[in-house]
Structures are given as C-alpha cells and as structure tokens.
Amino acid sequence: MKTAYTFSAVCLILFCSNFAKGTQMIENPILRGFNPDPSIVLVNDDYYIATSTFEWFPGVAIHHSKDLVNWELACYALNSTKYIDLRGNPTSGGVWAPCLTYSDGLFYLVYSDVKHFAGPYKDVHNYLITAKDINGPWSEPVYLNSSGFDPSMFHDDDGKKWLLNMLWDFRYERSDVFAGIIIQQYDPNTKKLIGPITNIFKGSSLGVTEGPHIYKLNGYYYLMTAEGGTGQGHAVTLARSKNLLGPYEIQPDNPVLTARNTPDSPLTRAGHASLVQTQTDQWYMVHLCGRPIKKDGKDRCVMGRETAIQKVKWSDDGWLHLENNTNLPQVIVPAPDLPLHPFAAEPARENFDSKILNKHFSTLRVPPDESWLSLAQRPGWLRIYGRESLGSKHRQSMVARRITSLNSTAETYVEFEPKTFQQAAGLICIYDTQNYYYIKVTNYDNVGKCVTVCTSINDEYKELSSQVFPLTEKGCFLKAEIDYDKLYLSYSFNGKQWNRINETFDITTLSDEACNEGSFTGAFVGICVQDLAWTKLSADFDFFEYNVK
C-alpha cells in the first residue's frame, strides 16, 4: 500500500478514536497546497493567517478561522501593482514571509519583495501596509529597509513599535551569510525607522537563522526564529531575554519543533512558526511543513510547503513545548475549547459566471486585468488573450490554482482557433517557468488544428511528436489526473469519452526538491494561452473544475 493512503488511514483511526472520547481534533495541514511561512493573529474572535505567495499574484494570502479547525481563504492583501510589481522577479522571488499583527485598531502587514537572490547578493526590499479591516483597503506601502528578508513587527506594551528582520551578509569570508536578527524602532507618525540598529541574536548551532517573531509574556521577551534551512533540516528555535535588545538565552532543549531527525515523519520540513493565544487561554503554533513523496530514495513535496498547527504549552520554568511533550509535528492535534464554525465548501467547478475572477485563482507575476483576460466579453466564459511563452517572467497569460492533493483531477473545456504552432491554449500542471506538463490545442503545419503535449523538466523542453491528434471540432475537453506520483493527461470531444495521452508523467518533478532554480513554492494546475506571433489571439474557457478524490 502506498504511503499516502496509509497516512490517510492512520488519520481516520486517530480521528475516530478521539471522537469516541468526545474530543474535537484538527487534521494537518490546515492550509493545503503551497501556503508557507504562516503568521497568525487573533482579533476579537477571528483568527487570520498570512502566508507567502512568491511570484504568484495577488500577493500575501490571508486565511480566516473562528475555531482553528475550519479555514477559508478570506482575501489577498497585495491585490494591486501599487503594493508589489512582480514582473521580471526570479522564480521563487517576490513575496517572502509576511508578518501580520494587530495594534491600535489597525492590521499591520510587513512583507519582503525579493528581486534577486542567486549568488552572494540578496536584493530584497521590505514594506509595511496597514488597514482597519482585513479585507482592506490597505494603505500605501511604506518602504522600511533592504538589509535582509523576513521582516516582522513587534508592538511593545509601552507603545513602541519595532521592526525585526534577518541580516544578510554577502561577504564570502564569513562562514554564515545569515548574520543574525536585527531590530530597529519604527515611528508610526513619521512612518520611518529611527534610532540605532541592534543585532540581538546570532542564532543557535542549527544556523540559517531567519523568520523572527517576538512575544512578550511574564516579563520575558521571547524570540522565535526559523533555523536549519527550509528543507528537511528545518526547525523552530526559541530564545528569551528580560531586555528587548538582549542578550537572548536559547531554550535548553531546543529546537521546539523539528522533523530533522525523523525522515519518515508524514509532516517534514517543519519550521518557520508563529504563536497565538486563544480566547480560552490555550496556545497554538502554526508552522510550515511538507508532505513528501518518497521517490528514488528522496523526499519530493509536490504541494510545496504547507501550513500546519500544533498545540503548545508553557512549562513551569517558562519554556515552550508541544502539548505531546515531543518536538515532532503531529498530524492530529487537539482543537481548542471553541465552538466549531465550519464554512461552506468551495464548489469544485468554476463556471466563470461572475464578473470577478474566483479568489482561489492566481496569475503568474501580473494582475488579471482587461488587457489579457475578460469575464465580460463572452458571458459565462473566461477569455484569455495569448501573450508570452511559458518561459517568460514578464507577461504570461495564465490562471491557475494550487494543487492540494496527490489524488485529484482538473478539467476544462476550451475553444480556440490557432493558425500557427506559435499559438497554443490548454491545461497546464506547472511549478515554474522551467518545469511543467502542458496539454494544449495548437496548429501543426502538416496536421492543422490539433491536440498535443509538451513538457519541460529543469528547462529540458520536449514536444511529444508521437502524441499529436487532429481536432476538427470547435473545442475540446482537457483533463489532468494526479494519482500519487503519476500524472495522466487526456482529451475528449464530448466530456464523457476520454482519450488518454499514451505516456505516464512523473508529477514529482514539480517539486522544490526536483527543480533546479533554488525553488520554494509548490505545484499549480490551471489554464493558459500563448501567442508568440504576438497577435494576441484569444481562447475561451467554459469552466475549470478541480476535484480532490
């Protein structure tokens, strides 16, 4: 039996056992699919988690819950290019590690825009926006600094506000370019950082110290950081001090959370955490994690880094521990003593009947505007105008959503009249500009309008010349089926009788671990159009359906 299904069976057994005891449980991950670097805040009776979105637009996904069990996608904070311009940003650049806090009747959101990170340098700019309501409108962005990534805002009880971020030291003679956590006061009146910059924490022996958050409790300042790198060695470190500026003492049994020594854990890559205290005085930690496929002896996380939650407690000596007295992330976690608040299930099929693009869709680096996308020109259809190639980091015409399960299907119907091989439209499973599987409608010189498949694995591009099928109908149905580590692509003329492409694809190539470009995101499935002749030929999509089996 495959690991994924064994894992589900174990979850079911644990759920049934705890239900029999009358205990409500949470199943991890709580935010499935690419949702890393969670930052959680409680405002009144509402919990919000902000996560990284990297090169996908809009930026900073914000999920909402009232019970820590059920979650819904509430909104995206960076929904305009005035907040962030991602055109040309590198793969896995863009929005890194947002921090969401609340003070003085305002939500504070700080985030990084990473313009370059290969080699010794990190061109990263940090910004702050505020809003009275989580749905906005958000203020004009305030530039903060560019000294390192993972900015975080701390609101002290004396009214002062402080910005933290990791310090990047590009000098090669240093043994560690992660040079510690720095802090500087922020003046909300002048909207500027003021006063001296202090390096308050150089990290533990785990190294790669980033993702700082400060909490004040019982006279101590607690500094929580991510360490060990964002792969299998990831971890959560905790340190404390009576003085905000340090020195900080590391928890004796650090790390607080990690799967670095348990490679067979169903949740790996555990780290980059954030704390919240419930209305009932219970404590929880949200953190990023991965659900790996074992492939050729290695882990591959197709869905990238997701968000999980753990129940935690403070010991008598003032240190933090998981509720289960280990530091290993758990799949099944006790829920808080709060009334359950489920949300309506997301419909599997999007029929494009609205004038606004469904919030579960993202676009690649550019906003979904009328220059290339329309829900009005043909009511009930999504019209997409072809632009640049799948390798472009500027003006692609792509609408996609996160893959959330290794047992799922995506389907669409497209009408398209290409005149040349330079024009294509179809269904794509994509990780980045170098890694994708694409079943498309195009035009071959010796065939005419046809359905075929192209693939790219670490920029090794391939057209499946043996899989070219004439298309005389106005449109066709396209389908992608994910079965654990396998991907199947199919087409149909009536949506009932399917013709499967005669090749089985390896979905695990669409993962952080398999991609070459220093990647930290996750796989998407969606629809797209290209017109390399730049005539902006359009394709019409009747629906997009994503089902988790």
pTM of the model: 0.95
Question: Do 272 and 311 sit in the same domain of this protein?
Answer: yes
Residue 506 tokens read as: 């390896």
Q: Give the residue numbers spanning the domain of 353.
A: 349-548
Q: Are strands 142-145 and 123-131 parallel, antiparallel or unpaired?
A: antiparallel
Phi, psi (deg, nearest 5) at residue 20: -60, -30
Residues paired with residue 499 on neighbouring β-strands, in sequence order: 491
- Residue 341 resides in a domain: no
Classify residue 210: in a domain, yes or no.
yes
Residues 65 and 208 in one domain: yes
Do 256 and 362 belong together in one domain?
no
Pair 271, 415 in one domain: no
Predicted local confidence at residue 60, as pLDDT: 98
Ramachandran region, residue 272 (left: φ > 0; alpha: ψ -120 to 50; beta: rest)? left
Number of domains in the chain: 2
465 and 364 in a common domain: yes
Flag whether 105 is in a domain. Answer: yes
CB-CB contact of 288 with 303 (8 Å) = no
462 falls within a domain:
yes
Whether residue 383 sits in one domain with residue 321: no
Q: Are residues 227 and 260 in the same domain?
A: yes
How far, rounded to the nearest angstrom, does the alpha carbon of residue 498 sit from its chain's CA centroid?
Answer: 32
| Residue 133, CA atoms < 13 Å, CB-side half-sphere | 5
Is residue 344, in this structure, part of any structural domain at all?
no
The answer to whether 542 and 413 are in contact (CB under 8 A) is: yes
> What does 102-144 look like in DSSP terms, one character per residue?
EETTEEEEEEEEEEE-STT--EEEEEEEEESSTT-PPPPPEEE
- Is residue 226 domain-resident? yes
Print burial letters for 317-347: b (CB count within 10 Å at least 16), e (below 16): eebbbbbeeebbbbbbbbbbebeeeeeeeee
Question: Hey, is 339 helix, strand or coil?
Answer: coil
Dist CA 351 CA 331 (whole Å)? 34
What integer pLDDT is reported at residue 17 of this predicted model? 45
Closest C-alpha to 224, from 276, 178, 187: 276
What pLDDT score was predicted for residue 272? Answer: 98
Per-residue pLDDT tens for 51-104? 999 999 999 999 999 999 999 999 999 999 999 999 999 999 999 999 999 999
Note the pLDDT of residue 163. Answer: 98
User: What pLDDT score was predicted for residue 519?
Assistant: 81
Give just the sign of the alpha carbon dihedral 60, 349, 428, 366: negative
Can you tell me the distance from the alpha carbon of 538 to that of 536, in angstroms, rounded to the nearest whole number? 6
The question of whether 210 is a catalytic residue gets the answer yes
Longest pairwise C-alpha distance within the chain: 77
Ranges of the chain with pLDDT below 70? 1-22, 175, 517-518
pLDDT of residue 517: 66
- Is the same domain home to 263 and 291? yes
Instruction: Tell me which of 305, 334, 363 is where a domain ends.
Output: 334
Q: At which of 275, 300, 334 does a domain end?
A: 334
Cβ atoms of 454 and 413 within 8 Å: the answer is no
Residue 208's pLDDT is 95
Give pLDDT tens digits for 330-385.
Answer: 999 999 999 999 999 999 999 999 999 999 999 999 999 999 999 999 999 999 99
Residues 6+ apart with CB under 8 A from 276: 40, 41, 42, 47, 283, 284, 285, 286
One domain, residues 207 and 123: yes
**Selected catalytic residue, list 37, 350, 415, 512:** 37
Give me the CATH number covering residue 485.
2.60.120.200
- 354 and 330 belong to one structural domain: no
Last residue of some domain: 278, 310, 334? 334
Q: What is the CATH number of the domain that holds 226?
A: 2.115.10.20
Same domain, 531 and 406: yes
Of 113, 150, 210, 481, which residue is the catalytic one? 210
With helix as H, strand as E and coil as C, how does 367-380 read?
A: CCCCCCEECCCCCC
Rounded Cα–Cα distance for residues 188 and 139 (Å): 13
483 token code pair: 């079965």
How far CA 242 is from CA of 162, 203, 239, 254, in Å, comes to 16, 18, 11, 19
- Residues 294 and 390 placed together within one structural domain of the fold: no
pLDDT at site 7: 44
